Amino acid sequence: MAEIIDGNKIAKSIRSKVRLRVKTLSRPPGLAVIQLGQDPASTVYVNHKIKDCHRVNFHSEVHRLSENVSQNRVLELVDRLNNLQKIDGILLQMPTPDHIDGQAIIDTILPTKDVDGLSSANQGGLLIGRHQVTPCTPTGIIRLLDEIGLDIAGKKAVCIGRSTLVGKPVGLLLMERNATVTYCHSKTENLATETRQADILISAVGRPRMITSQMVKPDAVIIDVGINRVGQNLVGDVDFEAVEKIVSAITPVPGGVGPMTRAILLENTLRLAEPNIG
Ligand code: NAP
């Protein structure tokens, strides 16, 4: 049976370290979250992020704007937050309404306040290996691998999904740690042939239980990023019950990558705040 990687436990220990560091600072780090519209899942995620800020004594604020807000109005808000001293990190909750150009908004966040590392400047920094903070979910994944004591160097990593949010940056971070990386996506032929070679398999697709036991290598480490609602339940991209019998370690959904994303958001906010606070 596989080791079940406990994201909640690792996230808790990250929060404890952040909370201790905050005690030593002259003012609390500040995070501003912008939510456009009232998508229920986004509201839950934003509420969790704010609760986490309270847990570590950060200053936090949520700016909830209407579904129909104009691009300019959001840009004005970002400009105001860029100039607020008590705000060290700004996060645009995704997804944004169709008429909004989310990347253009993220690109107006000062790179030094771009807490999810998703601006063109920071993504470019990741590409060339010069970065201050890296995207929260991919960074959380690397931390999970470190926490289970996996030596990433030389391993074959297969990333399914090539989004800017998860797939592409996690592949870059794995390559930075000297993994040999393969990207797969919706046009990949013979997906199972690729996934069966993976020592580390990252699935960031959003299709319930698409990764079956026939698609994994025995002893692989499986990171399931997918979040899919099936009836009342949340499930990942991986057929957990079947796959856990074969592999060496696997993240559950919920309780794997999700809590790590939130913990790294706190860590990134702290990292951006430290130079401002001294
Ligand atoms: P996304 O932008 O929709 O990207 C999905 C990727 O999956 C695309 O690259 C797509 O390929 C690929 N794909 C779709 N169908 C496929 C198939 N049949 N075979 C292989 N690849 C396929 O999604 P995302 O934002 O990266 O998120 C992915 C999942 O992770 C979602 O379930 C999301 O909710 C979850 N998520 C979780 C967290 C967390 O903290 N746990 C954070 C972010 C996202 P193409 O590029 O060819 O279209």
- Segments in the chain below pLDDT 50: none
Task: Quote the ligand 1 centre to 263 CA distance (angstroms).
Answer: 21
Task: Tell me the domains of the chain and their CATH numbers.
Answer: 26-115 (3.40.50.10860), 136-258 (3.40.50.720)
Active site residue 79: no
From the candidates 114, 116, 199, 237, give the one annotated as an active-site residue: 116
Active site residue 214: no
Active site residue 6: no
pLDDT tens digits for range 47-88: 999 999 999 999 999 999 999 999 999 999 999 999 999 999
Q: What is the pLDDT of residue 21?
A: 98
Task: Quote the ligand 1 centre to 209 CA distance (angstroms).
Answer: 13
Q: What is the pLDDT of residue 228?
A: 96
Does ligand 1 lie within 6 Å of residue 257's CB atom?
yes
pTM above 0.95, yes or no: yes
* Nearest atom of ligand 1 to the alpha carbon of 227: 32
Q: Whose CA is nearest to atom 5 of ligand 1?
A: 205
Does ligand 1 lie within 6 Å of residue 261's CB atom?
yes
Q: What is the pLDDT of residue 185?
A: 98
Pairing between β-strand 249-250 and β-strand 3-4 as defined by DSSP bridges: parallel
Does ligand 1 lie within 6 Å of residue 256's CB atom?
no
